[in-house]
Each structure stands twice: as C-alpha cells, then as structure tokens.
C-alpha cells in the first residue's frame, strides 16, 4: 500500500474551486455587504504582517454564514459545477491508485466543505483542507484554523502519514505550483501537473513526471 496525495486547484480540477464557489455563493444571494466588508477588512488588518499569503488565507467572505448551509451548498456546487472541471488525466491517475489499494488523500488549500464534497464524489476517505474559524456553527472573519499551503502543506502531510502509518518516502504527490515544492521534494514520486514556471524548471531538472495538456512525460528512473 502506498500513499497518494492530490492537490485540488489546478491539479485535480482545472482552475480555482474556491473562486468558482464564491461566484456560486454570490449567484445564490449568499454574498452581501457584510461578507464583502469582512473580506476587505481582513486584508487591511492582516496584509501588513501576512504579506502575499494573506489573500490566500482570507476566507472572511464566509462571515455570518452557517457552516451547515455552506456544506450543503458545497455539495451541490461540486455535483453541478466542479465535477465538470475535473482534470481527467489526473482523475484517472487517482482512480488507478484506488484500484491498486493505495491510500488516497486530498490535501488542498481550498475550503474544507468543497474538498470533502469532492472526496465523497470520488470515493476518497482522507481529506485535509482549509478549516475556517467558526463559533456556534457560524463562520467568523478570522484567520483559518488550518490552511494547507506552502510549507504548512508538508507539515500536514507528515501528520497525516503518521496517523495512517504511511511514509512520505513511499508516497506519490501531485501538485501544480511552486508552493507545492515543499511537499513534492519530500515524497518518493513527485508529479508536476500543468506546472507553473518554477515548478516546471524543478521538475525538468530533477526528471520528475509531468502531466500537462493531457500529455504525460514519464519520470526518468533513478
């Protein structure tokens, strides 16, 4: 049995699931002045100390929404919108891991309700995604409790591996961004998916497998 770790946005699905979900919420009247103001105030408050990553952590547009309602909306969003945007070569690879009996994990900075709804549709048991702050079932305009991004994604992957008695050295990981390098460089089988320039350069230099535009460039055996 091997561990197979999949990023979501730009990897398992084309584009940003969270941006699409924001539009989905707006079209259903779940984005009003309160949510927009909370989002902007979060940036004003945390940008001076958080830098560029602040925009990634800004989930304050959920402020005031009930987590149970967001979870229900996320399930419908995934079924009606997101499944149409699956990156089929990567989704096929995920299914191959499942058939082989590997432990598949979705590890992503997207919202936890989105990731879990997608995992349910794909038959994936293990999920680690962004957990937003809430009180009494209502989301707050606070930094996320968990945010798998950059180096934090590697730390969470190590925790997950330990919990299920797996090894990152015997794991495959799929990512699309330079921010995934922390994780990709730590696993035995890194796979770059439609990589940005920095990840592409690293993948080529290290002769990693690359999946891009439906084509697969196999890794060079070490």
Q: What is the pTM of this model?
A: 0.94
Q: Hunting for tokens 């919420």 — which residue is that?
A: 25
Q: What is the pLDDT of residues 118-134, one digit of tens each?
A: 999 999 999 999 999 99
Q: Give the chain as a 3 state SS string.
A: CCEEEECCECCCECCCHHHHHHHHHHHCCCCCHHHHHHHHHHHHHHHHHHHHHHHHHCCHHHCCCEHHHHHHHHHHHHHHCHHHHECHHHHHHHHHHHHHCCEEEEEEEEEHHHHHHHHHHHCCCEEEEEECCEECCEECCCCCCECCCCHHHHHHHHHHHHHCCCCHHHEEEEECCHHHHHHHCCCCEEEEECCCHHHHHHHHHHCCEEEECCEEECCCCC
Which tokens go with 78? 């995934």
pLDDT of residue 218: 72
* Token output for 117: 């709804």
Task: Tell me the C-alpha distance between 72 and 114, whole Å.
Answer: 10
CA distance 80 to 71: 14
Distance CA 153, CA 183 (A): 7
Query: Which homologous superfamily is 3-217 in?
Result: HAD superfamily/HAD-like (3.40.50.1000)
- Domain coordinates in residue numbering, the chain: 3-217
Residue 171 or 49, more confident: 171
219 Cβ neighbours under 8 A, 6+ residues apart? 189, 191, 207, 208, 209
Question: Per-residue pLDDT averaged across 103-122, rounded?
Answer: 98
Q: Does 222 score more than 60 pLDDT? A: no
State both tokens at 72: 């229900």
* Closest CA relative to residue 18, chosen from 99, 90, 109, 93: 109
Contacts of 51 (CB under 8 A, 6+ apart): none
Query: Which residues are paired to 127 by β-bridges?
Result: 106
pLDDT confidence band for 219 (50 / 70 / 90): confident
Phi, psi dihedrals of residue 187, rounded to the nearest 5°: -105, 165
**Confidence band, pLDDT 50/70/90 cuts, at residue 51:** confident
Range 101-128 average pLDDT: 97
CA 43 distance to own-chain centroid: 21
């Amino acid at each position: 049995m091997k561990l197979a770790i999949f990023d979501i946005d730009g990897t398992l699905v084309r584009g940003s699931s969270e941006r699409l979900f924001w539009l989905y919420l707006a079209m259903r009247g779940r984005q009003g002045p309160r949510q927009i103001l909370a989002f902007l105030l979060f940036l004003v408050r945390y940008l001076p100390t958080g830098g560029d990553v602040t925009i990634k952590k800004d989930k304050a547009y959920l402020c005031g929404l009930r987590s149970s309602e967001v979870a229900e909306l996320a399930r419908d969003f995934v079924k009606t919108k997101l499944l149409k945007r699956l990156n089929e070569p990567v989704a096929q690879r995920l299914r191959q891991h499942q058939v082989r009996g590997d432990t598949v994990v979705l590890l992503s900075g997207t919202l936890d309700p989105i990731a879990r709804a997608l995992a349910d549709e794909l038959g994936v048991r293990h999920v680690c995604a962004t957990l937003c702050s809430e009180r009494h079932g209502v989301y707050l305009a606070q930094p996320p409790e968990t945010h798998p991004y950059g180096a934090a994604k590697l730390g969470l992957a190590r925790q997950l591996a330990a919990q299920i008695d797996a090894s990152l050295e015997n794991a495959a990981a799929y990512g699309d961004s330079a921010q995934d390098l922390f994780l990709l460089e730590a696993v035995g089988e890194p796979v770059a998916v439609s990589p940005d320039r920095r990840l592409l350069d690293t993948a080529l230099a290290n002769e990693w497998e690359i999946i891009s535009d439906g084509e697969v460039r196999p890794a060079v055996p070490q």
